[in-house]
Structure 1
Amino acid sequence: MSGVVDLEIIRRRPFAEGHAFGEAGGETRTYECMDARAHVAIDPQNPAYAWMIDIGLAQRGDDGLVHASTDLWILKPVALERGNGAAMVEFVNRGNKRALQFYNDGPASNAPQSLADAGNGFLMRRGYTVISAAWQGDVLPGDGRLVARLPVARYPDGPVTGRVRAEFIVETRGVTSLPLSAKAGTRPLPAASLDTGEAVLQRRRYPWSEAEALPVDAWQFARVEGGGRGGQGDISGAEQGIVASDSHLYIPAGFEPGWIYELLYTARDPLVLDLGYAAMRDLVSFLKQTEGGANLLRADGAPPLRFYGWGRSQTGRGIRDFIHRGFNADAQGRKVFDGMLTHIAGGGRTTMNRFTNLVVAASRQYEDWLNPSDRFPFSYAVSTDHLTGAEDGILKRPETDPLVIHTQTASEYWYRRGSLVHTDTEGNDLPQPETVRIYFWASSQHWADPRATPPVQRGVCQNAQNIVATSAFFRATLEAMDAWVRDGQAPPPSAVPRRDDGTLVTMDAWRGQFPAIPGVALPARPNELPLVDYGPDFEAGAAIVEPPVVSTTQHYAVLVPAVDADGNDRAGLRAPMVAAPLGTYTGWNLRIPGHGAGALHDFSGSCIPLPETREEREVTGDPRPSILERYGTPAGYVAAIRAAAGALAERRFLLAEDVERAAEAARDWGRARHIVYLPAASDEA
């Protein structure tokens, strides 16, 4: 026996109180939502599973099978025949539901239920079924997260142990204790021993700086309890207890903000993380192939749905790994997902190795620099690694590989080695398979809140955060994927910066292009990628050797998009806000003094406002034309935004409804996102 053996419906109820999201066939379309759990039982000796990492060490039930389960949330038309025949499956990011937030411009919520949660209703108005499903085994329950319950790997005579590296960075003073996972919502890898003499805690100023070791008596494997403020004469509420813990790090003197702390220790009891992929594969195969019975998506002889996977950032990397490792073929060798939509994954994949902490974000220049998220192959096309001679590509199984639309922002080129998605390892343009489209969302940031409003906090960054609105691209991209799978209508050609037309450049060339804006410091370089040796058995799933060997002479080519005279990216899809700018919008931002000054910050981009008048430009010495010199009036700005949006719609990169949304958001100088001191439209003479 293997695969989904039971789909448990925990709760089923109307969505948005039965609101009608349009109609189909002359009947109104209403939606219902379900909280469910898929229970999976597999034979670890079945060839469809036997190749997975540590599957032979997975704890088994009394039936001799390995059991796992995954939470899911289903949003579907009450009458399936009134849907559009397509289901979007969200690989949830760290357990959080985000499909309605990014596709419908809805609020962030792990319990969407109301009409307000539906946002603009796009997914429902178009008739999509939405499935949010857990796959990440180390997410802990809480805050409404979806969780995958996976078994521990264990030897017959005792626990599995191995050396691991954990990293911690805090931005405020007063933090003394953190989970070994660095996140409260993530299962830590427990320490095999509480003896600090068997571990090493050290810190660095920058990832490449010499490490400073902390004395063994300066920290503990422990957690802090209590410490609240007492009241009503009860002083016990202010007490603090220090409790030994194999899952926490405690520094009595506190973490110094901005420093990179590294803990090297022996961990035990890793999860069999590959079962998260297997559960996702088997769940979708069940929903696609099984007629009637427990499969509510094929009741009464309904035809199979078209299935599209969607993931962003961490889960975008997960999808790329899912495809590369062959999970898009089910246990019977059938194609699982028809299409995959990967967003802001950069050149990375997920690492499912023993003792992997999946919640850790991908390698950035300052944070988690040694995370093995970026390893050859980087591109969907098969190519040769010029440093190792290896030949590989993410797509290499034509019978079961899905159609792919890969989207990425400017931040991925600076932090996530995004150029390697469409170049070879030496930086030459690399043609992609006909089954792939890659779209660069120019001058936008890794994280773009569809509902952002100013003022945007700078935190430990030198510049304000990038506020370019890009959610309309999600909607057009999904519709393009559906037309591709349903009708064979190919999407528009890929739109990326290229070497052959000068829009993908080296750092030296970029520095010569970027305008000399007063008071703005520039990055020294993007997040470069040296060749890293993680150990001879790493690719087979072993834990990382300590420490990995980082080459000082061998590097992969990491290039960045060329910019125009304003400092905005020239190539790719320029959102209306970029084509008609009120500022310079970059994919990078720099850390302030005391917090790794000058290094790139996390995944942050920048918004550097334009001068508002000619006089301001002349006084400050800003080389960029002012807002009034460009547009004259608020109406002039709206007209420019409308024209830019219309041009994107003509190329199928925006829907018609989003042209009007862009124009409406631009009224009164786009104040929904920008802080502008010029007169509003109502104040014009």
Structure 2
Amino acid sequence: MSSVRLDVRTREPFADGHRFAGGGAYEVITATAHYSVDPEASAHRSIADLDLAPRDSDGAVRFSGDVEILRPVGGGRRRLFFDWGNRGNKRAVQYFCDAPHTNRPQTLADAGNGYLLRRGYTVVFGAWQGDLLPGDGRLLLDLPVATRGTEPVRALTTAEFIVDELTRSLPLSRWTSTRSSPVSERGVRTARLTRRRYPHSEPEELPQETWQFARLQGGGSDLRGSSVAVVPSRHDLLIDDGFRPGWIHELTYEAEEPLVLGLGLAAVRDLVSHLRHDPAQPVGEINYAYGWGRSQTGRAIRDFIHLGFNEDTEGRPVFDGLLPHVSGAGRLVAERFTNLTVPGGQQYEDHLAAADAFPFAYAESVDHLTGRRDAIMKRASDPKVLHTQTSTEYWQRRGSLTHTTTDGRDLGFPPNVRGYLWSSSQHVADPAAGAPTKGICNHLGNVVATSALFRAVLEALDAWVSEGVEPPPSAVPTVADGTLVTMEEWSRQFPAVPSALRPYGPNELYAVDRSAVPPVADTSGRYTVLVPAVDIDGNETAGVRAPMVSVPLGTYTGWNTRAPGQGHGALHEFSGSTFPFAATEDERLFTGDPRPSVASRYGDAAGYVARIRAAAEDLATRRLLLDEDVERAAREATDWSAPRHDVELP
């Protein structure tokens, strides 16, 4: 028993009825999806606490969520493209069309270069994350709370807080966009709060009289709101002297009222199946279904496959192809009191998050610490997958484990998977990025432009599914050819770039005892995490090199280090770095830079643009770039790729 009823709320022309070449006119459909799930079905055994969800008179668990659709009025190419909205935000049009981010696409400007619409895709945005709060146009999923009869479900949980500047109160979720798991009455009395300088530092406990479950209210500029009040709250934490910037604060408390978060995967399965097979659905005939998610939602895709959700309740495949991007080796792991907004574990932040759990690889492998055998891909219903990741995932998200054994030997991918490293790029690469800044890091952010690669990957997936045309071969670093190396080898390769504070190492991964609260790492059992090798400029040698990396104006890394006072020296979140080359040989000599200058490499701006065009044409020949993006690459390279780069030659 599993069904969907889709109530359409509005249908409006998109972009005033503009006709996209190849795709025609589009309309925007908003709807509410009503879901009904059989909690006894074997397909739902992986959903934590589903047995504790309220049931209706038929024994079903019901819930609902937002759906929005960009639909080609003339039917398009009968291809559905599902955007696993990152934290409830629409991202596909932004990244595939180089468009400004908006959760309410309405105008022609919101379509960017129009790629998805010119290609006639039916773009579907469906809510899957159940712990989000309303605001900013986020897609919401209304999920049931697990209960034991009339009693709430309670258990110990942890929440980690790191702030960039002095802050007195925060929601227990740490994110204003996200529902907090409320503290129980007993938890108010028994909770413990600690702070530590680095993840492995000895924590110091904060006396209970110095903090409380409360929030600050007021502090505004007008007369009525200028004063400040402390309001008791089961959803917030207040420290009298404030959260110390850059320190790791960890709260352990008894929480209650957990949401049945795993139903989000069932929602995606049932919505897409409904749109493909139900004659009453509002989008017209669909021949193929693809899905894309980045970071958090890339992890959701990997869990979706691993847990068998790509087969609907009637045994039919749901997606023909999926595109998980920058997930690293992580999965979603929606357990009791999971905060789905929290990123996967990083070296400094959320270090022991549950996101990284065996299996890491798509191909079958053995956990050398436990002897367990498993794989992400193991069912006849599995889709074709093109897994893409950046340098950051190798440094922060244990990305090497997607294609190596747990003890660091080459494993590769199964036949229905390809993997691509987008060399020397960082986790987030805004298509509209401006000049880089440092933020709370030691170095300028990574400026490599990679959005064009999204379009090529989708074209390759579509050709693979619909025409049987093999995609470009996997392009990832390997141990065998010396392009996937240990930290020690990488340190020998990386040049002596002036002012570069190198990382201590990649984010390590240990076996973790998750029965303990907070979780405890077993440092006697470590998984092997490797990083891509680099050339004499410090740029990565393996993978797919975007034109800016093939023809560099600097060294681009997937890592950046925290500045003094912010966890100095540790890797910062998902940030990369740019270390510009000296503009001239005179500058290079004065700064002691071992890397050749811009002038000695390219001569002038025209020489640089010509080299960029040649690199783009080479990618297009290998089907890693669309022909239309060759021209874009050359056009954007004028004036030395400003504003991403600032090169001034005499």
Report the TM-score when normalising by structure 1: 0.93
For 1:288, the aligned partner's letter is: R
Question: Which residue of structure 2 aligns with residue 491 of structure 1?
Answer: 471
Q: Which range moves more in the overlay, 237-246 or 585-594? A: 237-246
Residue matched to 1:662:
633
Q: Which residue of 2 aligns with 1:22?
A: 21
Distance in 1 between the 2:517 and 2:237 partners?
Answer: 20
1:201 aligns with 2:193: yes
State the Cα distance separating 1:94 from its structure 2 match: 0.4
After superposition, give the CA deviation of every residue in 1:324-380 in whole Å (9 maximum; x if it has no partner): 011111111211111110000000001111111101000000000010111111000
2:494 to 511, 514, 523: 514
Residues 220-239 of structure 1: matches in 2 within 5 Å? Answer: 220-230=212-222, 234=223, 236-239=224-227
Do 1:580 and 1:641's aligned partners in 2 also have CA atoms closer than 8 Å?
Answer: yes
Q: Does the CA-based 8 Å contact 1:568-1:578 persist in structure 2?
A: yes
Equivalent residue for 1:407, pick from 388, 413, 427: 388
Alignment partners' CA distance in 2, 1:442 and 1:311: 19
Letter in 1 for 2:140: V
Q: Compute the displacement of 1:297 (Å).
A: 2.2
Residue identity matched to 2:482: G
List aligned pairs for 1:19-98, cutoff 5 A: 19-23=18-22, 29-49=24-44, 52-61=47-56, 63-80=58-75, 83-98=76-91
Contact kept, 8 Å, 2:584 with 2:600, in 1: the verdict is: yes
AA partner of residue 221 (structure 2): R
Paired residues of 1:196 and 1:216 also in contact (CA < 8 A): no
Deviation, structure 1 residue 53 = 1.9
Give 1:465's aligned residue.
445
Alignment-derived partner of residue 297 in structure 1:
283
| Conserved 8 A contact 2:298-2:324 | yes
Aligned pairs, how many?
650
Shift of 1:50: 5.0
* 8 A Cα contact 2:43 2:308, kept in partner: no
> What amino acid does structure 1 have at the position aligned with 2:2?
S
Alpha-carbon distance in structure 2 between the residues aligned to 1:148 and 1:220: 30
> Are the counterparts in 2 of residues 613 and 627 from structure 1 also a CA contact under 8 Å?
yes
Could you list the per-position Cα deviations for residues 374-395 of structure 1 after superposition, in whole angstroms to 9, with x for gaps in the alignment? Answer: 1111000001111110000000
Matching residue of 2:342: 360
User: Following the alignment from structure 1 to structure 2, what is the Cα–Cα distance between the partners of residues 51 and 422?
Assistant: 25
Q: Give the match's secondary structure for 1:253.
A: strand
Equivalent residue number for residue 325 of structure 1: 307
- Rounded to whole Å, the distance in 2 between the matches of 1:3 and 1:551 is 44
Q: Which runs of 5+ in 2 are unaligned?
A: none
Distance 1:165 1:288 in 2: 40
- When residues 512 and 50 of structure 1 are mapped into structure 2, their CA distance, relative to the original with a 3 A threshold, is closer
Mapped partners of 1:524, 1:218: distance in 2: 34
Query: 2:460 pairs with 448, 472, 480, which one?
Result: 480
Matched, 1:286 2:274: yes
TM-score (normalizing by structure 2): 0.98
Structure-2 separation of matches of 1:617 and 1:72? 55
Deviation at 1:43, TM superposition (A): 2.8
Which of 434, 440, 454 is equivalent to 1:453?
434
**Correspondence for 2:411 among 403, 420, 430:** 430
Flag the 1:50–1:574 CA change in 2: closer, same or farther, 3 A.
Answer: closer
State the AA in 2 paired with 1:498. Answer: T
Q: Secondary structure at the match of 1:662?
A: helix
- Displacement of 1:195 in angstroms is 6.0
- What CA distance in whole angstroms lies between the structure 2 residues aligned with 1:48 and 1:435? 23
Contact 1:194 1:246 in 2 (8 A): no
- Look up the SS of the partner of 2:82 in the other structure: strand
Residues 671/50 of structure 1: CA separation in 2 closer, same or farther (3 Å cut): closer
Look up the match of 1:376.
Answer: 358
- Partners of 2:434 and 2:297 in 1: CA distance: 26
Higher mean displacement: 548-557 or 599-608: 548-557
For residues 625-645 of structure 1, the C-alpha deviation after alignment (integer angstroms, 9 at most, x for no partner) is 000000001000000100110
SS of residue matched to 1:202: strand
Q: 1:155-174 alignment to 2 at 5 Å?
A: 155-173=148-166
- The answer (yes or no) to whether the contact 1:222–1:243 under 8 Å persists in 2 is yes
Tell me what 1:185 maps to: 177
Identity score, percent: 56
Note the alpha carbon deviations across 1:273-311, whole angstroms, 9 max, x for none: 1111111111111111112x2x0123xxx3x33111110
| Match among 172, 186, 205 for residue 213 of structure 1 | 205
Contact 1:178 1:249 in 2 (8 A): yes
Which of 570, 592, 597 is the equivalent residue of 2:568? 597
Q: Which amino acid aligns with 1:265?
A: Y
Q: Is the 8 A contact 1:463 1:606 kept in 2?
A: yes
Q: Distance in 1 between matches of 2:216 and 2:306?
A: 42
Question: Does 62-71 or 147-156 show the bigger shift?
Answer: 62-71
- Aligned residue number for residue 10 of structure 1: 9
- Alpha-carbon deviation of 1:62? 5.0
Aligned to 1:139: 132
Partner-residue secondary structure (3-state), 2:243: coil
Determine the C-alpha separation between the residues in 2 that align with 1:405 and 1:32.
Answer: 29
Match of 2:371 among 389, 410, 417: 389
- Tell me which amino acid in the other structure corresponds to 2:325: H
Return the offset for 1:47. 3.6
Secondary structure of the residue aligned to 1:254 is strand
1:409–1:443 Cα contact (<8 Å) kept: yes
For the residue of structure 2 that corresponds to 1:426, the secondary structure is coil
Q: Which amino acid aligns with 2:439?
A: G
CA contact (8 A) 1:50 1:56 kept: no
Amino acid in structure 1 at the alignment position of 2:60: L
Question: Which position in structure 2 is the counterpart of 1:683?
Answer: none
Aligned 8 A contact 2:352 2:521 in 1: no
Q: CA deviation at 1:520?
A: 1.1
Relative distance call for 1:442 and 1:23 in structure 2 (3 A) is closer
DSSP 3-state at the match of 1:251: strand
User: 3-state SS of the aligned residue for 1:257?
Assistant: coil
Structure 1 residues 194 and 458: CA distance shift in structure 2, 3 A: farther
Q: How does 1:612-627 map to 2 (within 5 A)?
A: 612-627=583-598
* Alignment RMSD: 1.2
Distance 2:414 2:500 in 1: 40
How big is each residue's C-alpha offset from its partner over 1:228-269, in whole Å with a ceiling of 9 and x where there is no partner? 123xxx3x3211111110000011211110000000000000
Separation in 2 of the partners of 1:203 and 1:23? Answer: 57
Query: 2:441·2:572 contact (CA, 8 Å) conserved in 1?
Result: yes
Letter matched to residue 272 of structure 2? V
Query: AA paired with 2:610?
Result: A
Matches of 1:332 and 1:242, distance apart in 2: 53
